[in-house]
Each structure stands twice: as C-alpha cells, then as structure tokens.
Structure 1
Amino acid sequence: MGIKSYSRARAIHIMLVYTGGCNGCDIEIVNSVLSPRFDAEQYKVFLTWNPREADVLVVTGPVTHLNKQPLLKIYEAIPEPKLVVAAGSCALMGGVYKNIHGDIPSEEIEGPVENIIPVDAKIPGCAVRPQDVLSGVVSILPKLLEAD
C-alpha cells in the first residue's frame, strides 16, 4: 500500500467550492455537516481549502460566467482521481437561476456543474440536507480508495 492510499484510507479531505447562487448549500454543509451534530470529522472527513490536498471536490451553485475558469483551475489542481460532488439544485440544473423558459441564460450562467467538469455524485435539494451530503461523499469513496 502506497503512502497516498494509506492516507486516503485513514482521512478524506473535501474541498467546498461555491460557484454562484444564494449560499444556502454552503451554509448547510459547513454549519451542519461539520458541526457537532453530524460531526463528519469523527469519521476522518476534513474540510480543506487547498486543492492539492483535496480528495473530493464539492461544488455548490450554478456555475456563473465569472466562476467558470476558477472552477476549472481548481479541478485541474486536484490530484487524481478527481472526484466531484454537485450539491444542490442550482449545481444540478441551475435552480432558481434558470430563466422562465427553463434554459440557462448563457451570458450570466454557464450551466450546471456537469456542463463544466465531470460529476461523480449528485445531491439534490434546496438547500441540501446534511445527511444527503454525507451519503453523497460516502457513495464515491470506493472510487477513491481503489484508485491507488
């Protein structure tokens, strides 16, 4: 077992990226999932702000035009395997930021996360439920652990 797989088997680092929207999903993830009630850290799931140490990228919000390039740079900086979770209805389909005809206006919103980078798990909700976030991250851990 290599050092990378040894470390990943003992602790998972998630990076949270906000790409537009209302911040409701970010608040749920940070204030609920990492709070004492759900306490993801007891299961060795830690939040990081460094893409080079991230195992899982959790993206919230529709991808705005201004956030597309930063999201791509963060995605490229994450080591292989690149695992991505799209959290919330905005990240999945544009949410309330779609126009009245149901499509996303290209001049402001680039689209849902899967239009920009590959997505491994999708977590619906507005805002997401903390238990669904934990389930979504846990659902892709086998891909992470078998990659090394």
Structure 2
Amino acid sequence: LDAGSCNACDFEMGATSNPIYDLHRFGIAFVASPRHADMLMVTGVVTRNLEQALRMTYEAMPEPRLVMACGTCASGGNPYGSTYAIVGKAADVVPVDIAVPGCPPRPSSMIIALCAAADMLKERM
C-alpha cells in the first residue's frame, strides 16, 4: 500500500519480481487484494488522506497478518518534517512487524525481510 510515497520504494519492490531477483523462487508473490494477502507492505510516510485507507486495508486482511514498513518514510516517519498533512510512520497507524530501512531499500533487503516474514507467519499458525 502506497501511503504517500515518492514511488522509489514501489519501483524497488517491483524489481524483486524481475529475473535478477526472482522473488517467486521463494514461493512469495504479490496479490492485488488484501483479502488474499498474508502481509501488507506499506511504503511512504502515512498521509492524512491515506490514513483511513491503511486502516481499512489492514482490517480487510485475514488472520494471521503481518505488516512490513518499507523504506525510511514508512519505518521512520518524518523525513519531511511535521505538517498538518502527515500522520507519521506506518506504526503510528497499524502494528508493524518488520521494517526495511533505506531510501529506497534494495530489492535484496526486501527479499530477506519477506523470507523472515514468511518464517514469522509459520510461527503464528
């Protein structure tokens, strides 16, 4: 879910599926609906306009569910300072289980975090 990003994290997330990184070899795939997702990946600082969308997307996911904050904005919150338009980091709105730092994070870092998240899901089941 892009909660207010510059799209750099989203581009790098897309790169995880290319032939170089090949995320699918680990049995991990991106899905379009939160109802079919085990984990929600959040990019960008959470804006006031998208705060409710983030909450609703999280609530639409089945249990057990995980949240990954991707990038400095989603995991840290305020690289742009404090304004009326910004809520903050993803953890200010939904519980975050794993964070991937970087601006933007490398695809390899995201894959490592996704594999760790898969292990976390196994423990919760």
TM-score by length of 2: 0.94
Aligned equivalent of 2:95: 118
Aligned equivalent of 2:51: 68
Q: 2-side partners of 1:147 and 1:134: how far apart?
A: 20
Q: Which runs of 5+ in 2 are unaligned?
A: none
Question: Aligned residues, how many?
Answer: 125
The code of the aligned residue for 1:112 comes to K
Match of 2:13 among 8, 29, 50: 29
Aligned equivalent of 2:118: 141
Aligned equivalent of 1:55: 38
How many percent identity over aligned positions?
37
TM-score by length of 1: 0.80
In angstroms, what is the RMSD of aligned CA positions?
1.1
- Structure number with larger C-alpha Rg: 1
Choose between structure 1 and 2: higher strand proportion: 1
Q: Which runs of 5+ in 1 are unaligned?
A: 1-16, 99-103
Match of 2:76 among 81, 85, 93: 93
Is the Cα–Cα contact under 8 Å of residues 67 and 95 in structure 2 kept in the other structure? Answer: yes
Show CA shifts across 1:80-138 (max 9, x none). 1120100000101235322xxxxx22x10001000000011110000110111011111
User: For the structure 1 residues 63 and 92, does the alpha-carbon distance in structure 2 shift closer, same or farther, using more than 3 Å as the test?
Assistant: same
